[in-house]
């Protein structure tokens, strides 16, 4: 998971979402609100294209899932499930792009909360997942920095799904090679090639690996985190390389 920037919707879509929410709010009982929310969402053809277009623009890589970062995002997920909070069914701030596996097999209608009622999952469009999760780069597994990070690991199976762990390890090797190729291209004055390397690297699946690499290279314990990989750490600390890659990601 990586930090994502939420984009604005077309004004017509925003107005339609407001109308739907007002319709739900007008129902007298909670059951009626849930039933109305479910019915309206089942017939969301008018707004679905605009929502998916905006979510795809926000998503990492080529429309990757905002939770696992690996598979293509195909589903509009409700961060707070509509079965629990019907008034947020058409709340744009409650919509995320998820792959069908994360949405239907992992998260489903789960929404763990703290004793005070706050969310135990992380919304990557509202806060930085790096505050809650740390990726062990050579292993391809996540460790939790907070209870919320631990819940994300469990709910989305971030370590339990072997394909994700192996994919992150491969992504780490590929990212290191990309940094080396960028340095070679720049040293040869091949600016167009260097720019293409940056673009392709950011558009690969599991870009959370690349984000973690840059983040951890600035950590006080970076030498230990990149033990045995001084070349990779040196590249990640190269001001010119950092500017090229990090400016592109913004």
- Whether residue 105 is predicted with pLDDT greater than 80 in this model: the reply is yes
DSSP string computed for 69-97: SSSBP-EEEESS-TTT-GGGTT-GGGEEE
pLDDT (average), residues 181-194: 97
Tell me what pLDDT residue 250 has.
73
3-class secondary-structure state, position 11: helix
Residues 6+ apart with CB under 8 A from 39: none
C-alpha dihedral sign at 4, 10, 11, 14: negative
DSSP letter assigned to residue 123 = -
pLDDT (average), residues 209-230: 95
Tell me the pTM: 0.92
Tell me what pLDDT residue 5 has.
96
Tell me what pLDDT residue 59 has.
95
- Whether residue 248 is predicted with pLDDT greater than 80 in this model: the reply is yes
């Amino acid at each position: 998971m990586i930090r994502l920037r939420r984009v604005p919707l077309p004004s017509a879509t925003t107005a339609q979402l407001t109308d739907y929410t007002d319709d739900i709010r007008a129902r007298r009982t909670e059951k009626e609100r849930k039933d109305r929310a479910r019915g309206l969402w089942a017939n969301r053809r008018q707004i679905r294209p605009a929502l998916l277009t905006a979510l795809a623009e926000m998503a990492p890589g080529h429309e990757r899932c905002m939770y696992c970062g690996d598979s293509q995002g195909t589903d509009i997920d409700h961060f707070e499930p509509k079965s629990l909070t019907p008034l947020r069914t058409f709340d744009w701030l409650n919509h995320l792009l998820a792959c069908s596996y994360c949405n239907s097999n992992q998260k489903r209608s789960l929404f763990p909360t703290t004793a005070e009622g706050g969310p135990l999952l992380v919304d990557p469009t509202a806060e930085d997942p790096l505050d809650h999760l740390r990726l062990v780069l050579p292993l391809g597994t996540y460790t939790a920095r907070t209870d919320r990070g631990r819940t994300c690991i469990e709910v989305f199976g971030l370590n339990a799904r072997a394909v994700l762990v192996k994919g992150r390890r491969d992504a780490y090797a590929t990212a290191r090679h990309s940094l080396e190729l960028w340095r070679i291209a720049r040293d040869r004055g091949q600016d167009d090639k260097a720019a293409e390397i940056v673009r392709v690297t950011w558009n690969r699946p599991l870009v959370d690996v690349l984000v973690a690499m840059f983040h951890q290279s600035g950590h006080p314990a970076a030498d230990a985190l990149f033990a045995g990989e001084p070349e990779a750490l040196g590249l990640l600390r190269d001001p010119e390389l950092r500017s090229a890659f990090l400016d592109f990601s913004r």
